């Protein structure tokens, strides 16, 4: 039991050290004043492709009206359920 706890504690210490090192990595850009948001799954909400495009266009137009907004970037991430074999 003591050996297992020691191994777990060493592993946690290494993970924490890695996370601290990641904070010092140069990202190549300044993350200051960056806003990130996510939206619901539009297919799951029964939006058609055209309705989704209209919605994202309206969101883009609204966001660009905020003072100080320089650029709007839209990234699409598709997540698939993990299949356990």
What is the pLDDT tens value at each position of the chain, 85 positions in all?
889 999 999 999 999 999 999 888 887 877 777 777 776 677 777 888 888 888 888 888 888 888 877 777 766 555 555 555 5
| Residue among 29, 13, 30 at smallest CA distance from 21 | 13
The residues, any chain, with a CB within 8 Å of residue 51's CB and separated by 6 or more, are: 42
Q: pTM of the full predicted structure?
A: 0.45
Residue 85 is predicted with a pLDDT of 54
Residue 20 is predicted with a pLDDT of 92
């Amino acid at each position: 039991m003591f050996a297992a706890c020691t191994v777990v504690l060493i592993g946690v210490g290494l993970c924490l050290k890695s996370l601290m090192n990641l904070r010092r990595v140069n990202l190549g850009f300044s993350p200051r004043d960056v806003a990130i948001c996510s939206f619901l799954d539009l297919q799951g909400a029964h939006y058609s492709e055209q309705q989704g495009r209209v919605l994202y266009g309206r969101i883009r137009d609204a966001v660009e009206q905020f003072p100080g907004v320089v650029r709007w970037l839209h990234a699409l991430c598709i997540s698939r359920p993990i299949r356990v074999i």
